[in-house]
Chains A and B, each alone.
Chain A
């Protein structure tokens, strides 16, 4: 019996350790694979051609700028929608809603998060985009705006559930302290609870942004996929092509090892680096905030 326990004590921590390391190993392997398949691009395509404004791969035009701006403008739009709605809904669920309402809303939000994105894309193609075209009098409704709206909708459940958890874990004593000082409910939320949950809320936003920039199927169906360089806010109302949609649409077709194949991996690498940067910025902000909190408390 005793031996049995010591054996388990030996085995279980090591299993946990291994699964912890495996996360790092997988990311490293993916990164290595992307580098190996993507980097040949830099010797095959000239820098000037790679960062030009024309994407037409079957005639050897490999300008990735339109794809880059397309992804960025849609992600920006989605963030502008998802953050206020997501944080607002989280605050409502955690701070304001009565208990019975919370019991209904939480599962509903999670259900929304489980909606397959292709279904949303379908709705976007058949309902949202015709509606936008008529409402805003656009030439076509298949625009960056339609993509942003849907991606915002996809990111909201992520933002809500993470932010709500963060708000929930703020100790009750914080709120009671604020009320004791005569703060109103709104002042308590805005000045005490939200700042206390700042790192969690920021994580929520970052996860939402990550969800939006990596989403493929929905944007492929509603943004029109025209590789137009997005240069001004007006581009919200014209079709765009994202990096993810490009990879999804073209990967099945390319010959293994061709220039086009390498450029598609290079685009994947770019996406990877972008989300890495987003994550690094987020964690450094969280880290700094934590340090300050520790200083105040000590």
Chain B
């Protein structure tokens, strides 16, 4: 009997607990997935926004720009994060599935070229970086460094950063240019892998989003052409367009957003949210 009472009491309390949870339970879920470059930023936004809006739940996952867009096309997410623009093939596939991807520029990002802090090389031209990654330059002494082999580090091919680096740096933004990464370029599955290897290996050269470069690694100043000014990546040099390797970051939605989704995307472009962008080392989007 005592047991029964206890059970009853437990059930009652469970009921009241769930009732209490109900009154504050989230009314709206937003699924957000894609670029690993954006994932930290998206998480910080989601956290802040959920603090201010108790009725919204936002889940953020990474996986790569392509993964996010694929998820949007499959209808499993509300927002796809991408560090590259959506491809023509992807738009065609989306239309086949009755989905209209709409693009939102949410922040800007500089890709920093990084080396070990003990590497004496501190500036390179875009052409030199291209030649290093395509294998034409294979020793640091060809670009004013010590007599050491160059170990090239890159993200995997599913990374938006990889594609952007290929188009903007290796091919110098030229669509006719068919330069490829040399086959001995190490393709590491994560930013962490690139940073860990660069930190301990004097031969290494790598690239990563500005927001992810730790203080103990050295960033290379990049010149657009030989004779041009060498510029270090920063918020100022990205905004005045003197730093060459900078890009927009995107969120894609299915059709023009409405309701809670629209409120969230509008908030992302607000000064409060763009302050978080700067804090994480990205460059705030130029809002009108």
By a beta-carbon cutoff of 8 Å, the part of chain A in contact with chain B is: 53-59, 61, 66, 125-126, 129-130, 133, 139-142, 220-221, 224-229, 238-239, 241, 249-250, 252-253, 255
B183 contacts A66, CB within 8 Å? yes
Cross-chain contact of B184 among A126, A221, A239 (Cβ < 8 A): A239
Of B89, B90, B187, B203, most buried by chain A (CB within 10 Å of CB) is B187
Of B93, B149, B151, B203, most buried by chain A (CB within 10 Å of CB) is B151
Q: Please, which residues of chain A bring their CB within 8 A of the CB of B67?
A: 252-253
Cross-chain contact of B183 among A126, A130, A227 (Cβ < 8 A): A227
B66 contacts A253, CB within 8 Å? yes
B189 contacts A241, CB within 8 Å? no
**Is B141 close to A, CB under 8 A?**
no
**Could you tell me the distance between the alpha carbons of A225 and B90 in the complex, rounded to whole angstroms?**
27
**Could you tell me the distance between the alpha carbons of A199 and B165 in the complex, rounded to whole angstroms?**
53
B181 contacts A253, CB within 8 Å? no
Interface string of B170-189 (1 = CB under 8 A from A): 00000000001101111111
7 closest A-B pairs by beta carbon, nearest first, are A253-B158, A224-B186, A139-B149, A225-B187, A253-B66, A140-B151, A130-B200
**Could you tell me the distance between the alpha carbons of A198 and B150 in the complex, rounded to whole angstroms?**
48
How far apart are B240's CB and chain A's nearest CB, in angstroms?
32
Q: Please, which residues of chain B bring their CB within 8 A of the CB of A238?
A: 184
Of B158, B183, B201, most buried by chain A (CB within 10 Å of CB) is B183
**Is B284 close to A, CB under 8 A?**
no
**Could you tell me the distance between the alpha carbons of A142 and B150 in the complex, rounded to whole angstroms?**
14
Task: Select from chain B the residue with minimum beta-carbon distance to A258.
Answer: B89
**Could you tell me the distance between the alpha carbons of A255 and B90 in the complex, rounded to whole angstroms?**
9
A140 contacts B158, CB within 8 Å? no
Cross-chain contact of B201 among A140, A221, A226, A249 (Cβ < 8 A): A140
A226 contacts B187, CB within 8 Å? yes
Task: Select from chain B the residue with minimum beta-carbon distance to A130.
Answer: B200
Q: Please, which residues of chain A bring their CB within 8 A of the CB of B137?
A: none
Q: Please, which residues of chain B bring their CB within 8 A of the CB of A255?
A: 70, 89-90, 93
Q: Please, which residues of chain B bring their CB within 8 A of the CB of A140?
A: 151, 186, 197, 201, 203-204
**Is B43 close to A, CB under 8 A?**
no
Can you list 5 A-B contacts (CB < 8 A)?
Answer: A125-B193, A130-B200, A139-B150, A249-B158, A253-B66
How far apart are B154's CB and chain A's nearest CB, in angstroms?
9
**Is B196 close to A, CB under 8 A?**
yes
Task: Select from chain A the residue with minimum beta-carbon distance to B152.
Answer: A226
B201 contacts A58, CB within 8 Å? no
Q: Please, which residues of chain A bring their CB within 8 A of the CB of B193?
A: 125, 221
**Is B163 close to A, CB under 8 A?**
yes
**Is B63 close to A, CB under 8 A?**
yes
**Is B211 close to A, CB under 8 A?**
no
**Is B233 close to A, CB under 8 A?**
no
Q: Please, which residues of chain B bring their CB within 8 A of the CB of A227?
A: 183, 187
Question: Beyond A54-B183, A56-B157, A140-B151, is A133–B188 a contact (Cβ under 8 Å)?
Answer: no
Q: Please, which residues of chain B bring their CB within 8 A of the CB of A221?
A: 189, 193
B158 contacts A250, CB within 8 Å? yes
A130 contacts B201, CB within 8 Å? yes
A220 contacts B186, CB within 8 Å? no
Cross-chain contact of A220 among B93, B180, B189 (Cβ < 8 A): B189
Interface string of B48-86 (1 = CB under 8 A from A): 000000000000000110110010000000000000000
**Could you tell me the distance between the alpha carbons of A226 and B182 in the complex, rounded to whole angstroms?**
9
A125 contacts B183, CB within 8 Å? no
How far apart are B43's CB and chain A's nearest CB, in angstroms?
19
Interface string of B22-53 (1 = CB under 8 A from A): 00000000000000000000000000000000
Q: Please, which residues of chain A bring their CB within 8 A of the CB of B254?
A: none
B63 contacts A252, CB within 8 Å? yes
How far apart are B30's CB and chain A's nearest CB, in angstroms?
22
**Is B248 close to A, CB under 8 A?**
no
Task: Select from chain A the residue with minimum beta-carbon distance to B89.
Answer: A255
Q: Please, which residues of chain A bring their CB within 8 A of the CB of B151?
A: 139-140
A249 contacts B187, CB within 8 Å? yes
Task: Select from chain A the residue with minimum beta-carbon distance to B73.
Answer: A255
**Is B156 close to A, CB under 8 A?**
yes
**Could you tell me the distance between the alpha carbons of A141 and B151 in the complex, rounded to whole angstroms?**
10
**Could you tell me the distance between the alpha carbons of A125 and B193 in the complex, rounded to whole angstroms?**
8
Q: Please, which residues of chain B bring their CB within 8 A of the CB of A224?
A: 186-188
